[in-house]
Structure 1
Amino acid sequence: MKFIFFNRFFAPDLSATSQLLSDLAFHLAAKGEEVVVVTSRGLYDDAAAELPARETSDGVTIHRVYRSRFGRHFLWGRALDALALYLHFAVAAMRLAARGDCLVVMTDPPLLSVVLASAAWLKSCHLVNWLQDIYPEVALGLGLRFPPPFGALLVGARDLSLKFAACNVAIAERMAARLLTLGAPPESIAVIPNWCDDEGVRPRPIEDNVLRAEWGLSGRFVVAYSGNLGRAHEYRTLLDAAERLREEADLLFLFIGGGYLASGLRAEVERRGLAPMFQFHPYQDAKLLPLSLTAANVHWISLQPTMEGLISPSKFYGVAAAGRGAIVIGDPKGEIASLVTRHDCGAAIASGDAAGLAALLRRSMRDPETIDRWGRNARALLDGEFGRRRSLLQWETLLASLQLSSVDAHELDATCVSARRAAE
């Protein structure tokens, strides 16, 4: 069985889904599996990049079929790029897949499984949906409206792709529960959490972090955000809290990353006169993550409450690996919010509760024991219940079961053929 993965980005890209896919693909190749990745020729944070159309890296064969030409900052541009990727990915699937292979389809661009389910059916392949989010519900939750009957057709086609799949991999329990309501067969649903480099990223004392001195963070209480700030997140609660904390000269908000809302956050910081309280940096090389994630005293994570069960903020795992607590802004009863409060590795603040967030940050600045305890508990939670090795092993087990079922099916086919020949 050949494993063919589909996603918009792959190594050397540094975006979240790229790093996850790269980890899994290289891990399987190192185990002796035949691994192919079909991806775009671009990079998430460099619209002008054009990577080689084909190469082999650490045993993984990479086919790059398209480069974004319309841009991701406008919905029409994203839609046109997605349509082009659907076409190129479908053609690649028909060209590269053989009977019995496994197509592992991520959700960038959205609803990619709808297109590739047809290819899997035509080529008699196994389909595995690796769901980082659930569309079109995410789009609907963000206010996008589809003209009738287009929306209903999308939902119907997506539901069919879930029912056809050999396996639907959710990244969190609430997402798995949502898949059940959408008609995915219970036996097809598996929960495999996302992960981070929890071996490379380890807890580090604040005073031992050279990046703090380099970035001028020494002596400051740093509240960091690391990663993508997208449409499903929000920053107004944080900004409103920052306005209430102007007198706290030692407080600094550190933003590392990018995303659709990143430029809006920066502009709003300038407009409100909060620039002295904020520092912005682009995505950092993976080699710097052990330093950038531990440069903060605590991290903040956000998710709009309407996105619960549709998206799960995986950046929590990197924060926990670094031995830092997390302040989750969103639904206090949401999945990640409940996790951090249940295990005492952070706090939950309702979206819009700027006064509550300001009070929490003011207390945290004066309570280093709580900050340290949050960090210790976060790392203990990661080591006990999550982690890259655990998730990669779960993927190995899942894909091995598909290989076994494929072998059994082939043996059954061979038995049937022999029986027919004997009868003749």
Structure 2
Amino acid sequence: MSLAPRSESPRVLVWNQYFPPDTSATASLLAQLVDRFEVQGVGTHVVQGNPSYRPTRTFKWKPWELWRRGQDGTVVHSAARSRARLIDRALNYLTYTALSFLVALRTRCDVILVMTDPPIAVVPAVLVGKLRRKRVVYWLQDYHPEFMVGIGRIRPWPLVRVWSWAHRWALRRCDLVIAIGRDMRDRLETAGVRSDHIEVVANGSSVDWSSEAASRTRVSGADKLVVLHAGEIGMRGAWEALVAGARDAADVASLVLLGDGVDADWVRELTAGSDAVTIEPRLPWLEYTRRLLDADVLITMVRRGAEGYSVPSKTYELFGCARPIIVIADPSSEPARLVTELDCGFVVSPDDGHEFAAALRALAADPGLRERLGANALKAKDAFRRDDQLDRVVALVTNS
């Protein structure tokens, strides 16, 4: 895509419900992007909602205020109910969407950067862009509602079809859509988005691995491989294949699931009665990174039907660990493409556990193979530094 430089930096309206003190992945990612805008002298105004995603602090609600000035922009007084129930999450989304639309209509800006919290945010963003003749850049993290339909969590009811139509309508009217994987780009092109209006930028890794730490050998008396999946136990994972393969290869490997999420209780039921799989609670960041380095093999997953609609950004963090990576996903998914191109692991089927078990046995039998694949992974870590990826986003937003 040809991008002509502008004579001056625009002011960017950043439109996303989650932003610190929320602790979601998109909140953290967006905070880092705002920092990169600041480093490059670009002004931003963040329109965020009331903290509702495991926030580190909350704002005092005043019933006579619809919004208030925040440190980085405007905090709208949207509902901040628990995300555990779908109806409460929908209330959070709808109140944020309505109030943020009003704020966006009156906030000075040159370009609108919208993300996917809530999943319908791009629709009002495009409407504001048309009304105010502002450029709209959509930084697409998760592709809804197609993701939920693709994995079978919701059916294509009439309301869902209307949502899908509205999303496609907005996608085709954005000045630029930033996809976080090549498989997502393929989905966008299938949906009718012009290829010259799409750019692929990985989320990358913000972990500052040192070569010495990442190259260390785990010291343990265990005679089995330690296989680790660290992160959300959520809807994107191919949990049936993972657990079935771990049970099959229990004589050579022990699987640890580190984290929590909406599917955690169901996964505990899958693993009941087996000592092949251990589920451990979420850890503070420093301990989490140490646990990655203590494993022999690392896992990332995309369940069947989710490829191109959701891209696990934790894949990029795994490269710096110098460990073989097993991707449980369709070969067309972005993690599978990366691991294949970099020759740093195995890609196995998300439909059953046989290929996963075979990969574990191959790695357990060949320490030299583990070392070679891990070394190849380590070589890739600098190609996906998050600051470099975010600087690309800044350039696309300010020059689009």
Q: TM-score, normalised by structure 1?
A: 0.81
Query: Deviation string for 1:362-412 (max 9, x for gaps)?
Result: 33233222222222211222324x32233122122212314xxxxxxxxxx
Cα gap change, 1:206 to 1:30, in 2 (>3 Å): closer
Taking the TM superposition and a 5 Å limit, the aligned residue runs for 1:221-370 are 221-248=225-252, 251-269=253-271, 271-274=272-275, 277-285=277-285, 287-370=286-369
Q: Which position in structure 2 is the counterpart of 1:388?
A: 386
User: Are 1:112 and 2:121 counterparts?
Assistant: yes
Q: Distance in 1 between matches of 2:114 and 2:69?
A: 19
User: Are 1:4 and 2:4 counterparts?
Assistant: no
Is the CA contact 1:65–1:89 (under 8 Å) kept in the aligned structure 2?
no
Match of 1:364, SS state, is helix
User: Are 1:195 and 2:204 counterparts?
Assistant: yes
Equivalent position amino acid for 1:273 in 2 = S
The CA deviation at 1:11 is: 2.8
Query: Deviation string for 1:54-98 (max 9, x for gaps)?
Result: 542xxx4463543531x3333333323222221232223224x22
Is the CA contact 1:20–1:195 (under 8 Å) kept in the aligned structure 2?
no
Q: Distance in 1 between matches of 2:278 and 2:69?
A: 41
The CA deviation at 1:220 is: 5.9
Is the CA contact 1:114–1:158 (under 8 Å) kept in the aligned structure 2?
yes
Query: Deviation string for 1:99-127 (max 9, x for gaps)?
Result: x5222111122121012211222233221
Q: Which position in structure 1 is the counterpart of 2:182?
A: 173
Q: Which position in structure 2 is the counterpart of 1:415?
A: none
Q: Which position in structure 2 is the counterpart of 1:371?
A: 370
The CA deviation at 1:168 is: 0.7
The CA deviation at 1:137 is: 1.3
Equivalent position amino acid for 1:113 in 2 = V
Is the CA contact 1:141–1:306 (under 8 Å) kept in the aligned structure 2?
yes
Query: Deviation string for 1:262-288 (max 9, x for gaps)?
Result: 23223432x2333x7414121533x44
Q: Which position in structure 1 is the counterpart of 2:97?
A: 86
Is the CA contact 1:55–1:62 (under 8 Å) kept in the aligned structure 2?
yes
Cα gap change, 1:40 to 1:244, in 2 (>3 Å): same
Is the CA contact 2:76–2:100 (under 8 Å) kept in the aligned structure 1?
no
Is the CA contact 1:175–1:309 (under 8 Å) kept in the aligned structure 2?
yes
Match of 1:306, SS state, is coil
Q: Distance in 2 between matches of 1:243 and 1:219?
A: 16
Equivalent position amino acid for 1:8 in 2 = Q
User: Are 1:156 and 2:165 counterparts?
Assistant: yes
Cα gap change, 1:157 to 1:18, in 2 (>3 Å): same
Query: Deviation string for 1:307-336 (max 9, x for gaps)?
Result: 122222211101112223211112134332
Larger radius of gyration: 1
Q: How many residues align?
A: 383
CA RMSD of aligned residues (A): 2.8
Is the CA contact 2:12–2:110 (under 8 Å) kept in the aligned structure 1?
yes
Q: Which position in structure 2 is the counterpart of 1:145?
A: 155
Cα gap change, 1:73 to 1:380, in 2 (>3 Å): same
Cα gap change, 1:317 to 1:26, in 2 (>3 Å): same
Q: Distance in 1 between matches of 2:42 and 2:358?
A: 52
Is the CA contact 2:214–2:322 (under 8 Å) kept in the aligned structure 1?
no
The CA deviation at 1:181 is: 2.1
The structure with higher relative contact order (CA 8 Å, sep 6+) is 2
Q: Distance in 2 between matches of 1:240 and 1:152?
A: 34
Match of 2:347, SS state, is strand
Q: TM-score, normalised by structure 2?
A: 0.85
Structure 2 unaligned spans of 5+ = 1-9, 61-67
Cα gap change, 1:72 to 1:299, in 2 (>3 Å): same
Task: Choose between structure 1 and 2: higher helix proportion.
Answer: 1
Cα gap change, 1:295 to 1:330, in 2 (>3 Å): same
Cα gap change, 1:395 to 1:267, in 2 (>3 Å): same
Equivalent position amino acid for 1:68 in 2 = A
Identity of aligned residues (%): 27
Query: Deviation string for 1:212-253 (max 9, x for gaps)?
Result: 99xxx97763211122232122211121122223444xx432
Cα gap change, 1:161 to 1:333, in 2 (>3 Å): closer
Match of 1:305, SS state, is coil
The CA deviation at 1:5 is: 1.6
Q: Distance in 1 between matches of 2:131 and 2:180?
A: 28
Q: Which position in structure 1 is the counterpart of 2:3?
A: none
Is the CA contact 1:51–1:64 (under 8 Å) kept in the aligned structure 2?
no
Match of 2:305, SS state, is helix
Is the CA contact 1:203–1:323 (under 8 Å) kept in the aligned structure 2?
no
The CA deviation at 1:294 is: 1.6
Cα gap change, 1:186 to 1:363, in 2 (>3 Å): closer
The CA deviation at 1:132 is: 0.9
Equivalent position amino acid for 2:254 in 1 = L
Q: Distance in 2 between matches of 1:14 and 1:365?
A: 37
Q: Distance in 2 between matches of 1:113 and 1:74?
A: 23
